[in-house]
Amino acid sequence: MCGIVGYVGKQDATEVLMNGLARLEYRGYDSAGIAVFENETIKVAKSKGRLADLAEKMKQEGKPSGHAGIGHTRWATHGEPSDVNSHPHGGGTVTIVHNGIIENYKVLKDFLIKKGRVFESETDTEVVAQLLDYYYVENHGNPVEAIVKTLKDLEGSYALGVIFADFPDRVFALRKESPLIVGIGEGENFIASDVTAILQYTKKYYLLEAGEIAVLSKQGAAVYDLHYQKVQKELKIADWDVSEAEKGGYAHYMLKEIHEQPESIRKTITPRIENGLPNLEECGITPEKLLTFRKIHVVACGTAMHAGMVGKYVIEKLAKVSVNVDIASEFRYREPLVGEGDLVIIISQSGETADSLEALRLSKKLGAKTLAIVNAKGSSIARETDMLIYTHAGPEIAVASTKAYMVQIAVMYLFAFELALAKGQIDETECRRLTSVLQETPEKIAEILANKEKAQMIASELITADSLLYIGRGLDYALSMEGSLKLKEISYIHSESYAAGELKHGTISLITENMPVIAVATQRNLFEKTISNIKEVKARGAKVILVSRADYQPEKDVADMQFILPDEEDLLMPMTAVVPLQLIAYYTAVLKGTDVDKPRNLAKSVTVE
């Protein structure tokens, strides 16, 4: 969601803030702005649109010049995207940037209006700025006292970067729910929504906990709790380089990240394999503990939920353990039947997804054990879960997830193998064989990536479509859900996935002449049934693109185009079969001229409900 940066040091603050915001563009935004101390006066520049629009505005109206300030990319929640509603927002001597939602802002706004306060924007953020200034004045210019009193009044999720006009050499920060870090440099210090924003300046950082207040100056960064006690923080070091967050010669981050998938798989699974068998003990998972789980719930959002769907099929087939897959936002509000003896697996790339985090907390409250599969170290979900598996995908900048999904399903396979072995549903020989096959998938993915021309040809057939359908059965259906999501979110073509066997129960009525249907058929025991469904849509005029394995060649009149996959174990076909679906989505978006890495209305990390 919204991105926050802050800086105090010797460098040009505007340049540092703009660089940091550029690194946070992947989070999704519709406006941007900065506030910089210029000759002890706070100068604000903000604009609806992209960072380029803000840069152009500063070029025409003057760029703030100073050595301390805060910056923001906004994803609108309260108030439409506009120059006025863009952050930063001010109130008296206070200027702030904010990520999150203030749930009781109307009550607070009414209170402040009665106190004579006048508001310029429609945002909940300006309410916080005005409230901070109200308490700042009431407490005779004590910024920390004003922050503490404001925190006690706020309900909701938030991360705040704050500057006070009377303290031109200070940047303040605080958080609840929404992520925020403090970057530690030499003679300069930073705040940011994530470490990506500051990697070009420092790899050292603190993780702010809920209710903590950071005070930054050139000399250092101090962190206090709500009782004004100084908090000793553990200094963390980012374990990846700024070059990993750059395009590296690729046209888009998404294409680069698709190509990084083989190495991401290796980095994720290799440390968790010992003597040819999965070993997740370092994640808090032992065979003895696995034996205690009677039922599994997978809870996630979007792409991560699709990874959970693949996991469901694999776990149930191998381990014979019942698995429910829930959308996190639904799980929270349906009074789920979860309790002692259950395992709830939370999957989240960012580890900050609001609905998933609340689902984790609810599961623990109900007595279940929790396992988190996340990519972001030190994230909220990672810190609160009982057991934790980090995926080692490295930074994923494109909003449309590719390599994060790939390592999520790789982890689900490892977990399923170890669970099945612990439950006695497979023996060591079979577990070793499956683990070995999993280790071979990076080479097969690399083989597909070396021959992308077919995906480009297929994409050229899709760009004029108004709507299309993905179909499959079993694991192929789980996979088609992800393929459909990738296409719609970056190409803006309406697309839906459907279980192939359900076509005749309604969806087949949508088939019109030359409507594209992408059929995924990789499972040996379901191939003929899927082909039968393909013939049904073909008979009604559909243009069929078949994604299938080399040893399955249908009759010539079944498919108009075919993407042939390397041979693979049926159970592991989702690892390779998703790659052409990613490439088809990517090249379709490129041919349509959309913003591939930053699709409209979408955010990388959804930190609000």
| Catalytic-residue membership of 431 | no
CA distances from 584 to 13, 329, 581 (A): 41, 29, 5
CA distances from 602 to 30, 373, 538, 589, 597 (A): 10, 22, 34, 15, 10
Closest CA to 105 of 79, 125, 80: 125
| Catalytic-residue membership of 2 | yes
Three-class SS state of 390: strand
Which of 63, 256, 598, 604 is an active site residue?
604
State yes or no: cis peptide before 574, omega within 30 of 0: no
Three-class SS state of 29: coil
Residue indicated by tokens 């030499």: 186
Bridging pattern class, strands 387-390 and 369-374: parallel
CA distances from 328 to 308, 314, 345, 355 (A): 12, 21, 11, 5
Which of 2, 283, 301, 431 is an active site residue?
2
Three-class SS state of 37: strand
Three-class SS state of 307: helix
d(CA 202, CA 197): 10
CA dihedral angle for residue 409, residue 410, residue 414, residue 417, rounded to 10 degrees? 60
* 575, two tokens: 């690892």
Q: Which residues are catalytic?
A: 2, 604
